[in-house]
């Protein structure tokens, strides 16, 4: 079981309190009806399948209830850092990524 | 002395009362017990049975040590060839000595390792995988037929004809294969679990682990020391002759145990196996609490699962001795040298009297000397050309005979080995050789560090060619390996690296720590060589076993390579080597060395298979723990549930809720009760507990705009006091949920969801609120459990409710259909909705949950004189279906659009955007040929179609016919006097008026007419109801 640091509660809590919520930084377009079928399909269906660092959303469901972002290495399953929703994806130094 | 054994069956082997003098063979504790040796308690003799035979044992014995003490080496038959097998090891890695145990009614367990099971008074054990008896086993013909059933046998043989697999091959294989038989009763034991947090977790309480725990504990760190054995000590328990700091090893051990026991910051758990090393230093530990007790205290859990989260972990799991691969290395009487050492020094049991030791490392020489000193004749065949002088000298002094450059290449015997062939190695080839009579052959093929838990962390292993072993390399977790598990051989190295590891992890956890300096004066471990096959490749037809539990031979491994397997992962799967319950603890390295030799590659190029949790076989009970029976999943009950139970409700689970399904009166079955409840509701009125509906309070200045974007319907201009049926889609345009939304004020909405969808819908709304519609000021609160909801439906609903309502006129005109208002019902503040899921005049009374039962009883008291009834979910389903109302998840399946369900009217087409609006424009969702919700009327009005039945165009189509849809809901209707159904059918609305067919399981076909999904009161005239 992972320990996840909630950037809102500012505490490390067990994974059981959290829910995974898909890839991060996918912004719902302001007016989806203006999108072409291809653009909409890319928004709706296409997701990264990273080997390595993956930016993803988690929700502290059984805690503060907030959605936030996580950088996780999909090879080691290690969480490298967490940050609040709406913040840009931080650049990771090479050491941190390892 | 007499004892009573628990009586579990009528077999004469399981007699009730036994009297020791009549029943016992030989002296107390067994004929092979050696005076003055062992830690067993000679003052506490006990009796147990093996295949009905009464065996004498001593307190501290395992089943294996007690059987060996009585000279019993034959314990079972092997998995595939049914070869006689005995005891290979003295630990949890045992592949052969699997027995059934019987600890009383319902407590029968197969495949227990005799080397782990502690003896207690009255324990019953049985051998396995033999019929009719252990000595005469019919399945042993497999051994003679073995040339036919080598590697890949199953893959090659049972391919054709295809239809034979299910009916012929699989049942036969299942009958012939397998080990013990599964228990046939529900496990009466309880299992428990707890979390623990520690600065330092030390896995393994041998010399290294104890030294680590002492160093960390003395520094003040909180320490957990866990070990799978019955007491701490590990290898020290088998090594009383060692001298540590001037003391005999067992004195040092006792002092260390006392010191650990005296430290409040140290917890020592024996009988506790670390089974899994998970992320971020969470280690699962399986603690056995009662399997060693003759009379466990009532209510005591059998096992406890510890989830230990440690800042730092010390892995001190030690090393396992490796067998050698030669013909007949599996006969009873052939075992590991270290096991013989343990049986002698820890249990006081001499495993044989005429012993051949096939050695490749120094510790076997100490074993040989000890066995000779205990009175056995011992001869060493040492594969190496020489050993160090002191090692040799002790053997000489003890009268051990030995040869260098000599290997064992064969054994003879059936139920017990009686001779071994020893051959000289010249240029690596065995030459000449004689047969030597013996009753025991000991194997010492090298030592394999236990890196299992380290591997669970996905830490990298590195190959050490000198030790012929994988060692812990780069680590991914905060852990340190110490002692033999890190490839450090010998007691002094174990104590030194253990102490250093303990000090370093305590420092890392924030304590000031120093490693202790311990001096070891005597140490039997010495230098370690390693060999796998005594004579590589020379066993073309021989039974030279690599994996004992799965009966895999060296020949099988070579054959797998010959047939094209290049990776050890392929060799493993093709031969099944390492795939038994012992996970190849004694076989993996030998299989790897043989495969590498056959491939002409180095072992790391061929690779090591992955170790996976659990480290040792673990009970299902431990994993299931409290999650069984009534506590498998939480059960939610409404505040009205107890009334339903008191009034004869039959319940059904609906998501996590327990819901009343119907209320049968005397003599009624479900069909009769549901028909009556339906008829009564339509003729008079029915009262229904709808408390499980999900409820979300949506508040804030932008609440209306938020709901307008989330739901399909136009909600921004919903007037205060009004309700609307609303649909929720995903971005893909498919129906996710539905419910009724009522506006209580400009800034406050009462939103209902389906029973099963409540949490999902709230999570989805929160997602949009927090991350997409961040411009909106809105707040969401789950209020499902705050409200009890009573639905009253039927022409007399108003008559029933009106006398109970204060502060609101509920006349048809004053309080129209789809209204919401606050008032009092039965004196309790309420939110009253006029809404109907039945097509009748309907009200939904929401009151604070604590008043739910009182208000329910008041409504029921008012309804009963009007000829009303209470009804359950089944009647609710029928009544809504008669009106064509969908149930999300029953009539929809996650691929149904509003238009498919006939609900296009609920789309706010003028809204610029809502969740799912763009998705509905996708080409596939607007194309023809989509499945649409329609009604079905069978030709036979008494026939109720099965839900899920497939629909084809009919009639007169030759099979195979394309399936065009399926039945989603199907009921008997009191109002219609016949059956009816709903179905999703391709272009279903265009088929209205035509016939479709439904093939049934018995090969017949039913015919049905496609109709509109509206079966009752299409004009909605009944919504008005009678005046109060």
Structure confidence by residue, pLDDT tens digits, B357-374: 999 988 999 999 999 999
Q: Do the Cβ atoms of B234 and B523 come closer than 8 Å?
A: no
Mean pLDDT of B40-69: 95
- Is it the case that residue B172 has pLDDT exceeding 70? no
Question: How sure is the predictor about A95, in pLDDT bands with cuts at 50, 70 and 90?
Answer: low
Write down the residue that tokens 């763009």 correspond to: B918
Residue B282: list chain A partners with CB under 8 A: 1
- A-chain residues within 8 Å CB-CB of B922? 37, 40-41
| Intrachain domains B191-319+449-522 and B323-445 with the same fold | yes
Task: With CB atoms and an 8 Å threshold, state whether A37 touches B774.
Answer: no
Query: Considering Cα of B248, then B252, then B255, then B261, what sign does the dihedral take?
Result: negative
Class of domain B2-148: alpha beta
Distance from CA of B128 to the nearest CA of A (A): 38
Distance from CA of A92 to the nearest CA of B (A): 19
Is pLDDT above 50 for B6? no
Q: What is the pLDDT of residue A92?
A: 80
pLDDT at B722 over 70: yes
Distance from CA of A87 to the nearest CA of B (A): 11
pLDDT tens per residue across span B405-427:
999 999 999 899 999 999 998 88
Provide mean pLDDT across the span B167-193. Answer: 74
Cα–Cα distance measured from residue B785 to residue B636, given in angstroms and rounded to the nearest whole number: 10
Does B918 sit within 8 Å of A40, measured CB to CB? yes
Beta bridge partners of B321: B447
Alpha carbon distance B355, B382 (integer Å): 14
Cβ-Cβ contacts under 8 Å, B731 against chain A: 28, 32, 44
Nearest CA in chain A to B284: A1
Q: Work out whether the CA dihedral B646, B649, B651, B656 comes out positive or negative.
A: negative
Surface-to-core class of residue A28, CB atoms within 10 Å of its CB (0-12 exposed, 13-18 middle, 19+ buried):
middle
Assign B136 a pLDDT band (cuts: 50, 70, 90).
confident
In chain A, residues with a C-beta closer than 8 Å to the C-beta of B477 are none
The whole-number pLDDT of residue B225 equals: 98
Instruction: Report whether pLDDT(B954) > 80.
Output: no
Q: What is the DSSP secondary-structure string of B848-883?
A: EGGGHHHHHHHHHHHHGGGT-EEE-HHHHHHHHHHT
* Residue B534: predicted pLDDT: 67
The alpha carbon of residue B300 is apart from the nearest alpha carbon of chain A, in Å, by: 28
Please state the rounded mean pLDDT for residues B555-574.
92
Predicted confidence at residue B10, as pLDDT, reads 34
pLDDT tens figures, B852-901: 999 999 999 999 999 999 999 999 999 999 999 999 999 999 999 999 99
Mean local confidence (pLDDT), B275-282? 95
Least confident span in A3-12, B500-509, B527-536, B923-932: B527-536
Average pLDDT over residues B463-468: 86
Q: Residues B813-821: what's their mean pLDDT?
A: 98
What confidence category does residue A96 fall into, taking pLDDT thresholds of 50, 70 and 90?
low
Say if residue B168's pLDDT is above 80. no
Nearest CA in chain A to B283: A1
What sign for the dihedral angle of Cα B230, B232, B236, B241? negative
Q: How are the residues of chain A apportioned to helix, strand and coil, as percentages rounded to the nearest 5?
A: 20, 35, 45
Q: What is the mean pLDDT of residues B1002-1009?
A: 87
Judge whether residue B905 has pLDDT over 70: yes
Q: Looking at residues B15-40, what average pLDDT do you find?
A: 67
Contacts of A63 in chain B (CB under 8 A): none
CA–CA gap between residue B292 and residue B244 (Å, rounded):
31
Q: Which residue of A has its CA nearest to B276?
A: A1
CA of A65: which chain B residue's CA is closest? B766
Cβ pairs A/B, distance under 8 A: 55
Q: Cβ contact (<8 Å) for B917 and A33? A: yes
Closest Cα of chain B to A4: distance in Å? 10
Chain segment B627-682, per-residue pLDDT in tens: 998 889 899 999 999 999 999 999 999 999 999 999 999 999 999 999 999 999 99
pLDDT for the residue numbered B18:
35
pLDDT at position B15 over 80? no
Indicate if the pLDDT at residue B25 is higher than 60: no
Answer whether B766 sits within 8 Å of A40, measured CB to CB.
no
CB contact under 8 A, A67 and B912: no
Average pLDDT, whole number, for chain B? 91
Tens of pLDDT, residues B76-102? 888 888 889 999 999 999 999 999 999
State the Cα–Cα distance between residues B791 and B416, nearest whole angstrom.
78
Q: Which of A33, A40, A85 sits opposite B771 (nearest CB)?
A: A85
Where do the structural domains in chain B lie, given as residue ranges? 2-148, 191-319+449-522, 323-445, 633-927
- Give phi and psi for B752, each to the nearest 5: -110, 150
**The architecture CATH gives domain B323-445:** 3-Layer(bba) Sandwich (3.50)
ipTM higher than threshold 0.85 = yes
What confidence score (pLDDT) does residue B956 get? 66
CATH fold of B191-319+449-522 reads: FAD/NAD(P)-binding domain (3.50.50)
Indicate the pLDDT class of residue B192, thresholds 50, 70 and 90: very high
Q: Is A86 on the interface with B (CB under 8 A)?
A: yes
Q: CA dist A42 to A45, B384, B417, B1008, Å?
A: 6, 67, 70, 43
Put simply, whether A25 touches B (Cβ < 8 Å) is no
Q: Which candidate from A21, A35, A65 shows the least CB-CB separation from B918?
A: A35
- Residue B1003 predicted with pLDDT over 90: no
- Please indicate whether, in this complex, the C-beta atoms of B279 and A78 are within 8 angstroms of each other: yes
Chain B CB contacts of A40 under 8 Å are: 918-919, 922
For residue B185, pLDDT over 70 is answered with yes
**pLDDT score of B3 more than 60:** no
Q: Which residues of A touch B770 (CB under 8 A)?
A: 66-67, 85
- The token pair at B62 is 């395992």
Domains, chain A, ordered by start:
17-28+37-97 (3.30.2270.10)
CATH number of B633-927: 3.30.1360.120
Choose, out of A44, A47, A60, A82, the residue to mutate when testing the contact with B (most B CBs < 10 Å): A44
Q: What is the pLDDT of residue B164?
A: 62
The CA distance from B931 to B663, in Å, is 36
């Amino acid at each position: 079981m992972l320990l996840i640091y909630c950037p809102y509660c500012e505490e490390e809590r067990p994974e059981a309190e959290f829910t995974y919520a898909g890839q991060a930084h996918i912004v719902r377009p302001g007016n989806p009806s203006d999108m072409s079928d291809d653009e909409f399909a890319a928004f709706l269906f296409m997701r990264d399948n990273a080997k390595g660092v993956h930016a993803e959303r988690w929700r502290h469901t059984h805690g503060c209830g907030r959605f936030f972002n996580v950088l996780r290495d999909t090879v080691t399953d290690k969480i490298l850092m967490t940050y609040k929703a709406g913040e840009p994806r931080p650049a990771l130094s090479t050491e941190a990524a390892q | 002395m007499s004892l009573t054994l628990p009586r579990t069956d009528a077999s004469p082997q399981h007699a009730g009362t036994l009297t020791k003098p009549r029943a016992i063979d030989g002296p107390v504790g067994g004929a092979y017990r050696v005076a003055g040796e062992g830690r067993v308690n000679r003052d506490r003799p006990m009796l147990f049975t093996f295949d009905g035979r009464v065996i004498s044992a001593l307190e501290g014995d395992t089943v294996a040590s007690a059987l060996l003490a009585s000279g019993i080496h034959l314990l079972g038959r092997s998995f595939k060839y049914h070869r006689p097998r005995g005891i290979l090891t003295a630990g949890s890695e045992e592949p052969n000595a699997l027995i059934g145990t019987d600890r009383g009614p319902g407590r029968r367990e197969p495949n227990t390792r005799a080397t782990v099971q502690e003896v207690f008074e009255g324990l019953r054990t049985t051998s396995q995988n033999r019929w009719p008896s252990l000595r005469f086993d019919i399945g042993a013909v497999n051994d003679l037929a073995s040339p036919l059933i080598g590697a890949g046998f199953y893959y090659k043989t049972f391919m054709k004809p295809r239809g034979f697999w299910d009916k012929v091959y699989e049942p036969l294989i299942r009958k012939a294969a397998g080990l013990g038989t599964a228990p046939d009763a529900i496990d009466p034991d309880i299992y428990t679990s707890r979390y623990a947090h520690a600065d330092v977790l030390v896995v393994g309480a041998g010399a290294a682990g104890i030294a680590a725990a002492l160093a960390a504990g003395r520094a003040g760190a909180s320490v957990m020391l866990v070990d799978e054995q019955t007491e701490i000590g590990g290898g020290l328990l088998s090594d009383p002759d060692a001298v540590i700091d001037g003391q005999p090893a067992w004195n040092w051990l006792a002092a260390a145990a006392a010191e650990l026991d005296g430290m409040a910051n140290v917890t020592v758990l024996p009988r506790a196996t670390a089974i899994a090393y998970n992320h971020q230093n969470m280690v699962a530990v399986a603690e056995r609490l009662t399997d060693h007790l003759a009379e466990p205290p009532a209510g005591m859990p059998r096992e406890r699962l510890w989830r230990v989260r440690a800042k730092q972990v010390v892995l001190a799991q030690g090393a396992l001795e490796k067998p050698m691969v030669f013909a007949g290395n599996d006969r009873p009487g052939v075992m590991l040298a270290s096991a013989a050492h343990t049986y002698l020094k820890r249990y006081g049991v001499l495993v044989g009297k005429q012993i051949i030791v096939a050695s490749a490392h120094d510790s076997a020489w100490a074993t040989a000397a000890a066995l000779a000193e205990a009175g056995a004749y011992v001869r060493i065949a040492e594969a190496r050309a020489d050993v160090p002088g002191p090692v040799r000298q002790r053997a000489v002094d003890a009268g051990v005979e030995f040869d260098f450059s000599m290997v064992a290449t064969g054994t003879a015997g059936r139920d017990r080995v009686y001779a071994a062939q020893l051959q000289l190695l010249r240029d690596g080839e065995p030459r000449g050789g004689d047969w030597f009579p013996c009753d025991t052959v000991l194997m010492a093929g090298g030592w394999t560090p236990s890196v299992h838990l380290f591997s669970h962390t996905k830490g990298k292993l590195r190959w050490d060619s000198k030790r012929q072993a994988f060692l812990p390399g780069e680590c991914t977790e905060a852990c340190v390996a110490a002692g033999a598990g890190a490839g450090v051989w010998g007691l002094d190295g174990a104590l030194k690296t253990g102490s250093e590891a303990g000090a370093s992890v305590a420092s890392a956890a924030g304590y000031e720590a120093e490693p202790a300096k311990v001096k070891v004066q005597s140490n039997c471990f010495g230098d370690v060589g390693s060999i796998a096959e005594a004579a590589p490749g020379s066993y073309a037809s021989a039974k030279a076993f690599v994996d004992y539990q799965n009966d895999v031979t060296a020949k099988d491994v070579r054959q797998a390579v010959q047939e094209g397997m290049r990776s050890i992962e392929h060799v493993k799967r093709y031969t099944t080597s390492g795939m038994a319950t012992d996970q190849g603890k004694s076989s993996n390295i030998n299989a790897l060395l043989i495969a590498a030799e056959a491939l002409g590659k180095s072992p790391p190029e061929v690779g090591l298979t992955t170790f996976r949790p659990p480290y040792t076989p673990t009970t299902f009970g431990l994993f299931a723990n409290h999650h069984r029976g009534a506590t498998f999943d939480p059960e939610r009950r409404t505040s009205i549930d107890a009334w339903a139970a008191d009034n004869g409700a039959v319940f059904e689970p609906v998501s996590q809720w327990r819901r009343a399904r119907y209320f049968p009166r005397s003599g009624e079955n479900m069909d009769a009760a549901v028909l009556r409840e339906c008829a009564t509701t339509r003729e008079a009125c029915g009262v229904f507990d709808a408390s499980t509906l999900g409820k979300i309070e949506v508040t804030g200045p932008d609440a209306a705009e938020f709901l307008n974007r989330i739901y399909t319907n136009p909600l921004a201009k919903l007037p205060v006091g009004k309700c609307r049926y609303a649909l929720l889609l995903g971005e893909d345009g498919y129906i996710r949920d539905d419910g009724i939304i009522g506006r209580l004020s400009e800034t406050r909405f009462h939103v209902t969801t389906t029973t099963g969808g409540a949490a999902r819908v709230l999570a989805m709304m929160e997602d949009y609120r927090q991350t997409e519609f961040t411009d909106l000021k809105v707040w969401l609160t789950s209020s499902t459990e705050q409200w009890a909801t009573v639905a009253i439906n039927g022409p007399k609903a108003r008559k029933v409710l009106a006398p109970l309502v204060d502060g609101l006129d509920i006349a048809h005109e004053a309080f129209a259909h789809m209204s919401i208002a606050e008032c009092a019902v039965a004196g309790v503040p309420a939110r009253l909705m006029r809404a109907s899921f039945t097509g009748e005049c309907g009200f939904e009374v929401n009151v604070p949950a604590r008043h739910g039962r009182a208000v329910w009883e008041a409504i029921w008291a008012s309804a009963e004189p009007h000829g009303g009834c209470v009804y359950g979910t089944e009647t609710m389903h029928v009544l809504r279906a008669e009106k064509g109302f969908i149930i999300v998840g029953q009539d929809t399946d996650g691929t149904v659009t509003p238009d498919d369900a006939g609900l296009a009217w609920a789309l706010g087409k003028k809204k610029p955007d809502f969740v799912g609006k763009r998705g509905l424009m996708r080409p596939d969702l607007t194309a023809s040929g989509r499945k649409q919700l329609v009604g079905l009327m069978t030709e036979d009005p008494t026939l109720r179609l099965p839900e899920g039945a497939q629909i084809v165009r009919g009639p007169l189509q030759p099979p195979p016919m394309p399936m065009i849809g399926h039945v989603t809901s199907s009921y008997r209707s009191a109002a219609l006097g016949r059956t009816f159904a709903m179905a999703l059918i391709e272009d279903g609305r265009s088929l209205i008026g035509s016939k479709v067919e439904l093939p049934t399981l018995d090969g017949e076909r039913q015919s049905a007419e496609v109709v509109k999904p509206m079966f009752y009161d299409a004009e909605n005239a009944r919504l008005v109801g009678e005046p109060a």
